[in-house]
Amino acid sequence: MSRILIIGEHDGRGLNQSTARCVACAAAIDPASIEIVILGSSTSGVASEAAALTGVTGVLTVTAAADSPALAAVLAPQIAALAGEYDYVLAPSTTFGKDLLPRVAALLGVPQLSDVMSVLGPRTFQRPIYAGNALVTIEVPAGVKVVATVRGASFKPVGNGAGAPIRPVEVSAPLPTHTRFIELRSGKTDRPDLQTARLVVSGGRGVGSAENFALLYKFAERISAAVGASRAAVDAGFVPNDMQVGQTGKIIAPELYMAFGISGAIQHLTGIKDAGTIVAVNKDGDAPIFEIADIGLVGDLFEIIPEIEKRLR
């Protein structure tokens, strides 16, 4: 029977929800065990969160000062050293996982699958190519370790269960010092997190300026939504990069996605395909976003947003 190791993503304070989505993917493989490894300078709090996830059979902790903040070059040799006894190594398809897992795979000398969106069999997976314009089915031959990143938007996070044992482990791997963390500049706000929010309000080039985005922030606050943006809005400097939704930004699956002044380039649509309901508001009735919107309204976002707000209870 197969054993799965998931690399837990965290910021030292809490477990990233992408990890619970990886567990859902792992459960679909129907393995003998699902273990999560937490690497960091202090791991107990995050490890308890990981141990509580339904389906998890054990949590390993590797506690080392060099492991925080996480650097791929430092974590990869440790994970490669741990990976030996596992048949699968999974990580979330976030910037953390995308940076780290290929380095692990290369150290293990095995190919990697990126962005697994569906488990078709224990060794058969589906993933998107060409910005989601085609899907491929990939089989990993028997005897080859499965190393894969998991596309979070395709899996619902598992809930909490009985709690699994936590086991500290020692890893002997030489840790490089050639890569050093300097700082994280985070546009952290009180708004819900874009990747996990139930509702998302998003703006594009049509919003026109950084100042005008205030209208979206205000509306989002009113309905407790996260705020996203198209690449055009980020490139124009209206908002920071961490708000970008799309193929090269965040791929999200909220229950409601409201796109204001976004024309709908294919790369953007890739990022919202799994959303429950897509609403598009755009002055241009021919904008491609209307081709995939569940509800479209042609008009000026600067008039429409205040009108929606007026009707809220």
Partner 1 sequence: MQKIIVCLKRVVDYNVRIRVKPDGSGVVTEGLKMSINPFDEIALEEALRLREKGQAQEVVAITIGPEDAQQQLRTALAMGADRAILVQTSAELEPLAAARVLHQIVSREQPGLVLLGKQAIDDDCNQTGQMLAALWDRPQATFASKLELNGTVATVTREVDAGLEVIEVDLPAVVTSDLRLNEPRYVKLPDIMKAKRKIIEVLAIESLGVDITPVLRVTRYETPPVRSKGGMVKSVDELVSALRDRGLLV
Binding to partner 1, residues 64-83 (CB under 8 A): 71-73, 76
Cβ(199)–Cβ(256) under 8 Å?
yes
Neighbours of 50 (CB within 10 A): 27
Q: Can residue 221 be called a binding residue for partner 1 (CB under 8 A)? A: no
Distance CA 234, CA 236 (A): 5
Nearer to partner 1 by Cβ, of 103 and 191: the residue is: 103
Nearer to partner 1 by Cβ, of 21 and 231: the residue is: 231
Single residue of 28, 110, 173, 236 touching partner 1 by CB under 8 A: 110
Single residue of 32, 144, 169, 210 touching partner 1 by CB under 8 A: 144
Tokens of 251: 């791929």
Query: Which residues, 90 to 109, sit near partner 1 by CB under 8 A?
Result: 94-96, 98-107, 109
Query: Which residues, 15 to 54, sit near partner 1 by CB under 8 A?
Result: none
Phi/psi at 206 (5° precision): -60, -15
- Three-class DSSP category at 52: coil
Stretch that binds partner 1, among 19-27, 34-42, 54-62, 136-144 (CB under 8 A): 136-144
Single residue of 11, 17, 175, 217 touching partner 1 by CB under 8 A: 11
Q: Can residue 14 be called a binding residue for partner 1 (CB under 8 A)? A: no
Distance CA 70, CA 214 (A): 33
Q: Can residue 132 be called a binding residue for partner 1 (CB under 8 A)? A: yes
Q: Can residue 304 be called a binding residue for partner 1 (CB under 8 A)? A: yes
The nearest distance, CB 102 to partner 1, in angstroms, is: 4
The nearest distance, CB 161 to partner 1, in angstroms, is: 27
Cβ(4)–Cβ(26) under 8 Å?
yes
Closest alpha carbon to 122 in 170, 93, 87, 157: 87
Distance CA 313, CA 297 (A): 21
Q: Can residue 301 be called a binding residue for partner 1 (CB under 8 A)? A: no
Cβ(262)–Cβ(204) under 8 Å?
yes
Give residue for tokens 């904008």: 287
Site string for partner 1, 177-216 (x = CB under 8 A): -xxxxxxxxxxx------x---x-----------------
Single residue of 241, 283, 284, 300 touching partner 1 by CB under 8 A: 241
Which are the contacts of 270, defined by CB distance < 8 A and separation ≥ 6? Answer: 128, 131, 132, 246, 247, 251
Nearer to partner 1 by Cβ, of 34 and 278: the residue is: 278
Q: What is the three-state SS of 19-33? A: HHHHHHHHHHCCCCE
Q: Can residue 137 be called a binding residue for partner 1 (CB under 8 A)? A: yes
The nearest distance, CB 31 to partner 1, in angstroms, is: 20
